[in-house]
Structure 1
Amino acid sequence: MRKILTLLFFVPLMAGLSARAQAPGATIDVQHYRFAITLNDADNIIKGQATVTAKFLRTTKQFELDLAGQNNDGKGMLVTALKEQGRPVKFTQDSDKLIINTKSIAGTVHSYVITYRGIPTDGLIISTNLHKRRTFFGDNWATRARNWLPCVDHPADKASVEFLVTAPAHYKVVANGLKIAEKVLPGNKKLTHWSETAKLPTKVMVIGVADFAVANAGNPGGTPVYTYVFPEDKEAGFKSYAVATKILPWFVKRIGPFPYKKLANVQSKTVFGGMENAGAIFYYEKSVYDFKGMESLMAHEIAHQWFGDATSEKNWWHVWLSEGFATYMTNLYLEGTYGADTLKSRLEADRKTIFGFEKRYLAPVVDSAFKGPMINMLNDNAYQKGGWVLHMLRRKIGNEAFWKGVANYYKQYNGGNANTNDLRLIMEKAGGTDLKQFFNQWLRTAGHPQLKITRDYNATDKTVAIHINQLQEKPYQFTLELLVDGKLYKTEVKDAVTTFSVPVASAAPEIKIDPNVNLLASFTE
C-alpha cells in the first residue's frame, strides 16, 4: 500500500497447519464468504445478502461478526434477517457488532445467511470520479470492511470469497478472483459473479464498479494481466499500467508462483495512492498519467500480492511484514532493472526519512505499545525502516540465502499468517546463523546507531587508527564498511568504542564511511 498524503501522495501438511492463525480468543474461523451486493444509481443504499460459512473453534451459545450498525445520521448497515438452513436465528446489533445467538459445538461448521441494507459510512466508497461519473470502490484497509460487509475484520482470519454484484447494466465490475458469470437482468441491470478460492484477509477483499475500459496487457507466465481504467483515460492508462507485465515475472522468478489466477490493475477512487487488494490492485485516479512514478508504485503493490495478501501478519504490530517487504522488494526490483546506484539512492533517501520520523515518534518497528488510530501504523517505521532491516538482513546472510529464505517464507505461510518471529526462524535456517540479536536490535528496539568516527595517523608504521564511538545508550552489533584510499575494509562493531587500524599512503587518506549504503546509522566525523 502506498499512503496518500492529503489526497494524492499520501505442500507439507505441518507447514500449512503452522501457517493458520486466529486472533486470540477467537470463537470462529471463517471458511468462506459469499457476498451478494445490489447497487443502484438512484441513491447510495446498498442491499446485501452475506453467506458466512464458519468453523467453530469452541463450543458457544453466542458469537459475533463485525458490522457497523446504523448511526444517528442514518448511515450504516441494518440487518433485517438472519437464517441458518432457512430457519431464523436470533440476533442483535450494536454500533459495531452483529451478535448471533445460537448454540454451536466446537469443530462443527455452520453457514449463516445475513440479509441487510444501508448506506456505507466507509469501506465501500460511493462517489464520482474525476470525469464526474459515478463509481463504487471497496477500500477496506485496515478494519473498514465491517462498514459494508458482515465479517471477521481481522487479518488473522482468512477465507475464500465470492462477490455477486447486481448493478445498472452500464457498469463493469472487477473483484478478487476470476469472473465466472455475467448475466443481463430485467430492468437494464446486470449480475456479475467473481470468485476467489485463495484465502484472503478482509483488508484486501474488494469490488470496483465503474464505467471501465478494459484491456489485457499480457499473460506473463500464464497469468492474465488486465487493465481497468476510466474510458476517458484509456490511452494513457493502457500504456502506463502495461509495465505490470514486466514486474510480475521478475517477482515470480525470485519469490514463487503468483498467488492468484489473474492480476487486475485498476484506476480507482481510493484514500491510498495504491491499495494491494488481492488480484485487483487499486491506484489513485491520476496514476495513469504518472509515467515516471508508476513503475515503482506498481512494483510496490504487486510485491504485496505475496507479502500482505498471500502471507499476512498475525496482528497489526507486525504490519512491517507487509509494508517493509513491499518497500524493499520495490527497491530490489529497481536495482535489478536499473542498477545498484538506484538501490543506493533509494536507501539513502529512506534513511533520511527514518531519522526524521524518529524525531517525531520514537518507537520500535514491532510496536506492541501502539494505541493510536490504525491508519497511523502506516508510518516510516513500517515502510522504510522495515525495508532497511530486510536490506541489512540480505547483506548479513548473503544474497543467495536471503532469496532462499524469502521463497521459503512465502511457501510456508501462503494462505496463512506469520509474525516477526516466524520470519526469523525461516531466515535462520536459510542463512545457517542465529538471528535473535539482529531481529531484536533492529525491529524491537527504538532508534538507530549514532556513530562518531575519528582518526589518528601513526607516522611510524604509516597506519591510521579509526575510532568508532557509539553515542546512543545501548551499543548495537553490526558490520561497518569503510573505503580507505579506494580499498574496502569491514570491521565488526559491538562495543561502545571500537578501534581498528589500516595501512595508508599519507597522513590524510580519503575515507568514506558506509560507501555501499549498507548500515542504518547516522555518522559524524
Structure 2
Amino acid sequence: MKKLSLILALGILPAALLAQQEEATPDTSWKKLYRESAPRINDLVHTKLDVKFDYSKSHMNGKAWITLAPHFYPTDSLTLDAKGMDIHKVAIVKGASSTPLKYNYDGWQLHIDLDKTYKGGEQYTVLIEYTAKPDEVKVQGSAAITDAKGLYFINPKGEEKDKPTQIWTQGETEATSVWCPTIDKPDQKTTDEIIMTVPAKYVTLSNGKLVSQKTNADGTRTDDWKMDQPHAPYLFFMGVGDYSVIKDTYKGKEVNYYVEKEYAAVAKKIFGHTPEMIGFYSRILGVEYPWVKYSQIVGRDYVSGAMENTTATLHQESAQQDARELVDGNGWESTIAHELFHQWFGDLVTCESWSNLTLNESFANYSETLWDEYKYGKDAGDAQNFGDMQGYIQSQSEKKDLVRFYYNDKEAMFDAVSYNKGGRILHMLRSYVGDSAFFKALNLYLTTNKYKSAEAHNLRLAFEEVTGKDMNWFWNQWYFGAGHPKLSIDYAYDDNAKKVQVTVKQTQTGDKAFVLPIAIDIYNGAEKVRHDVWIKDREETFSFPYTSRPDLVNVDGKKTLLAEKKDNKTLENFIHQYKYAGQYLDRREAIDFASRNQNDPKAQELMFLALKDKYFGLRGYAIGKLDLKNETVKKQAEPILAEIAQRDPKATVRATALGALSQYNEDKYKSLFTKSVNDSSYTVAGTALNALFVQDSAAAVAESKRLAKYPAKGKLIESLTTILVKSGDENSFDIIAKAFGDMPISQQKFNLLQPFCQFLAVVKDTKKLKAGVDMVVEFRDALAAYGLTPYVNGLLKGVIDRKNAASATADKTSMKEQIDYINSKMESGEKKSF
C-alpha cells in the first residue's frame, strides 16, 4: 500500500484547530488492549468465487466455495468474516452434492455449524450463496485508506459525464470480506479462483492467470482467473472496465498495463521500467519474481495511493500522466517500485498481524531508495532516503514503537513509523552489516517464510543466521522501541597535543540512550581516514590524533543515521565537506549552513557553487535557499539564474530558476517568462505563468484564459486556475470549476481548495455557486479520514462571511439562498466526519 501524500496538508492547519480535533477523540481505552495475532482455528486452503455484478444497484451476486481445514485442534464450527451481505444459502459440499448447514449471521460474521467434527488438517468445503452490498456497509477508513467498503462501483450507471464505468476492489486491511466470505486476517493464506461475468465490452483483471473466457448469449462474457499459489485474502482483487491493455514481458511472463484509452500511447513511458525493476529486485534478493504474471491497473476515485494485490497492483488515477507531465520525470515511478517490491515483502511473505505491518511497508518504502540508487545514481537514492527520513521526523511520531501491539485501530498502523521510519531502519541495518550480508539475510527471510506469514523476530533470526551476530540490541532499540536520537556534536582541537576531541551528546527527551555504530571521518585535504566507533551513552567523547589540524571531522561519515543533528562545525568545515566528503547529505548540510550565513562572502561562494551541483535536486534546492533580499547575493546570482532558467537540462530546475528570477521584477525577463509559458514542461509553464503575473498581471490572465482551452495538468493547471481566481472574473467560473473538479484526490487539489473557496465568495450566479460548493463538499468528504472536515468547513464559513458582507448591495433573496445552501452542506459534513 502506498499512501496518498495528503498527510503533508496538515502542516498548514492552525494549531488551535489541530488541538480541537485531538480533544474530540479522548478515548484511550485501546492502550490496554493487546493486539495479538489472529488465532488460527480453521485455515483457508482454497477459495473459488463465481460472481455477477448488478450495476443498477451496485450489488454483486456471488457463490463462494471455500475449502478449509482445522489448523490443529478438532472443530465442528466455522466463523467467516462476511460484512453487510445478504446470505441466501450455506451448505457443506461433498462431491457433486451439497447439504444445507445451520448458521447464524449478525451482519458482520457468519457462524456456521459444520456437519461433523473435523480433525486437524482434514479438509472440507462450504458453499455460500450471497449478495454483497458494499454501498450499504457502515465502515470507517483512515488517513492511509480513506474508505473500507471493499468493492467499488465507479459511475455504474454512466451518469457522470467524462468518467468511465469501472469496478475495483480494495482489500487491505480487512475489507475483502465485504465482497467475499473469508477469514479476513493477514496470517491466512489461500489459493483462489475468481470467475467474473461482465458486459462483453469490458476487460477484467484478477490474481493469477486468465485461464478461460466464454462469450454468453446475453451480451456478457465470463472470465476465469486462477491463482495457484497461496496468498492472503486482503490481496484478492477484481478489476473491471473499458481499458486499453498494453502488453510487456519479463522472462516470458506477462507484464501488462491497464490504462484508460487516452493514455495507451504513454503507458510504457509511465510503467515501462517495470520489467527492469522486476529483474533488479530479483537479482538483489536472489529470489526470482515469484508469481505467474504482473499487471498494473489504474482505478478512478481510488481510496489510497496504490495497492499491491498479488500479481495485480491497483494505482490511483494520478498514475496516468500525459506526455507533458512526463517531461518533468515520472512522478509515479517510486510508487510503481514500492508496489512491485510488495510482491516479495507483503505478498510472498506477509506480516502475521497488523502490529507487524512494517514487515510489509518498510521494505516497500525502502525499495524506492534502492531503485533510485540503482537507476539514477547514489545521489538520487540518498535524496529519496533523506526525504523519507524528514517525513518521519515531521510526523512527530516519537512515542510510537515500530512494531506495536497497542493501537486504537488497525488502520492507525499505516503511518510514517511503519513506512518512513521502518525504511530508514533498514538503511541503517544495511550500513551496519554490509550489502552482502544485508541482501543474503533478506534472501534467507524470504525463502524460509515464503507463502507464510512472519513477525519481526523472523527477520531478526535471518540476520543473525547470516551475520553470526546477536541482533537483539538492534531489534529491541529500533523495532520494539520508540523515538530516535537527537545529537549535539562539538569539536575541540588541541594543536599542542595534536589531538581533536569529538563530543556527541544525545539530547532527546527521556533517559533512553541509543546505541549507535557510526563512522567518524577525518579529512586533510582530499585524504580521508575513517574511524568506526560505537556511541552507547548519552554523552561520549572520542579523541583522535593528527599531525596537522584536520580540515574536517565528519561524524556519521556514511550519512546513514536516522537522527536529528546539531553539528557545530565552522563554515570552513562545511565548505570542505561540500567539496571533499561529497555525498548527497554532505553537500545538502553544507548548503543549509551556508544559506544561514549569506552575509559571509565564503558562504556566498558556496551557494553559487551549489547552483551548479552535479545533482539536479541540489541545484534546485540551492536556488530555493538563496537570500535574494541580500543585494550582493541577488546581483551575483542573477546571471547564473538566467543561465539555469534557459539551459539547465532538468525542467524542474529551470522552473525553480524562473521562480527566482520573478523576484527581480525586471522587464528584461518578461519575454523569457512569456516564451516559457509555452514550454513542454507543465512545471516550467506554470512557474513562468506565475512569474508573468508578478510582472504583468493582465498579460498573465490573458495567457491563462488562452491556455485553459488546451489540456493542462500539474503546476500549469494549478497556476492558471489560481491566477484566474485572483482575477475575480466570474466569467472564468467554468474554466476554474472544471479544473478543480477534474483533479483527482491529491496534494495539488488540496492546494487549490483555499483559492477556489475565495473565488466562490465572489460568484453571484446561484447555480454556479451551488455547483462549486458541491465540488468542495465532495472533496471534503473524501478527506474526512484525514480529520480535515473542520478545516474545509472553515473555508466554507469564510465564503458565508463574505456573502453576508456583500449582502447590502446584492440580491438579498439570491444571497440568502446561497448562504442557506452552504450552511446545509456544512451541517451534513459535520455528521459525516469521523
TM-score normalized by the length of structure 2: 0.58
Task: Give 1 or 2: higher strand fraction.
Answer: 1
Partner of 1:81: 89
Equivalent residue for 2:386? 348
The 8 Å contact of residues 372 and 384 in structure 2, kept in 1 or not, is answered as no
Shift of 1:471: 2.5
Q: Partners of 2:450 and 2:548 in 1: how far apart?
A: 56
Query: Partner of 1:383 in structure 2?
Result: 419
Q: 1:505 to 1:356 in 2, by over 3 A?
A: farther
Contact conserved, 1:392 with 1:518, CA < 8 A, in 2?
A: yes
Unaligned runs of 5+ in 2: 11-35, 136-148, 569-834
Letter in 2 for 1:2: K
Contact preservation (8 Å) 2:397, 2:483: no
Partner in structure 1 of residue 461 of structure 2: 425
Counterpart position of 1:62 = 77
The one-letter code matched in structure 2 to 1:119 is: K
Partner of 1:98: 110
Alpha-carbon separation, structure 2, partners of 1:130 and 1:390:
46
Aligned to 1:266: 297
Aligned twin of 2:244 = 213
CA distance change for structure 1 residues 476 and 130 in 2, over 3 Å: closer, same or farther? farther
Q: For 1:479, which of 517, 520, 542 is the aligned residue? A: 517
**Displacement, 1:409?**
1.0
Amino acid at match of 1:304: H
Partner of 1:401: 437
Distance 1:197 1:413, change over 3 A: same
Could you tell me which of 168, 190, 195 is aligned with 2:221? 190
Which has the greater radius of gyration? 2
Question: Kindly tell me: are residues 7 and 400 of structure 1, through their superposed partners in 2, closer, same or farther at Cα, counting changes over 3 Å?
Answer: closer
Instruction: Choose the corresponding residue for 1:440, options 476, 481, 485.
Output: 476
Q: Residue 49 of structure 2 corresponds to which residue in structure 1? A: 35
Over 3 Å counting, the alpha-carbon distance change for 1:394 and 1:508 in structure 2 is closer
Shift of 1:145: 0.7
Q: Does 1:180 align with 2:211?
A: yes
Partner of 2:307: 275
Determine whether 1:286 maps to 2:318: yes
Letter in 1 for 2:304: F
- Are 1:133 and 2:164 an aligned pair? yes
Matched to 2:105, the amino acid is Q
Higher helix share goes to which structure?
Answer: 2
How many residue pairs align between the two structures?
504
Task: State the alpha-carbon separation in 2 of the partners of residues 362 and 5 from structure 1.
Answer: 22
CA positional deviation for 1:237: 2.2
User: Relative contact order (alpha carbons < 8 A, sep ≥ 6): 1 or 2 greater?
Assistant: 1
Q: CA deviation at 1:500?
A: 1.2
Asked if the contact 1:91–1:101 (Cα under 8 Å) also holds between the matched residues in 2, the reply is yes
Deviations 1:113-141 (A, max 9, x none): 10001321310111139942211001111
Distance (whole Å) between structure 2 residues aligned to residue 496 and residue 361 of structure 1: 17
Paired residue type of 2:91: K
Equivalents in 2 of 1:53, 1:190: separation in Å?
26
2: CA distance between counterparts of 1:497 and 1:9? 37
Alignment of 1:234 onto 2:249: no
Q: Distance in 2 between matches of 1:126 and 1:489?
A: 60
Q: Compute the displacement of 1:32 (Å).
A: 0.4
Percentage identity across paired residues of the two chains: 27
What residue in structure 2 maps to residue 72 of structure 1? Answer: none
Shift of 1:23: 4.7
The aligned residue for residue 14 of structure 1 is none
- SS of residue in 2 equivalent to 1:80: strand
CA distance in 1 between counterparts of 2:161 and 2:443 reads 40
1:287-346: CA deviation from partner (whole Å, max 9, x where unpaired): 120642222111111000000011001111110010101111221121111221122222
Q: Does 1:469 align with 2:499?
A: no
CA offsets, 1:239-266, max 9 Å, x none? 3111212111111112211121000011
Q: Assess if the C-alpha contact under 8 Å between 1:40 and 1:167 holds in 2.
A: no
| 1:157-177 CA distance string (max 9 Å, x none) | 110011000111111100000
Unaligned runs of 5+ in 1: 11-21, 70-76
CA shift digits 1:38-77 (9 cap, x unpaired) = 01433312100011000013323322100112xxxxxxx1
The answer to whether the 8 Å contact 1:39/1:168 transfers is no
**Selected match of 1:498 from 528, 533, 540:** 540
1:310 partner letter: L
Whole-angstrom distance in 2 between the partners of 1:105 and 1:498:
62
Alignment match, 1:309 = 347
C-alpha separation between the residues in 2 aligned to 1:360 and 1:481?
27
The alpha carbon displacement at 1:9 in A equals 10
| Contact 1:40/1:168 (<8 A) preserved | no
**Counterpart code for 2:195:** L
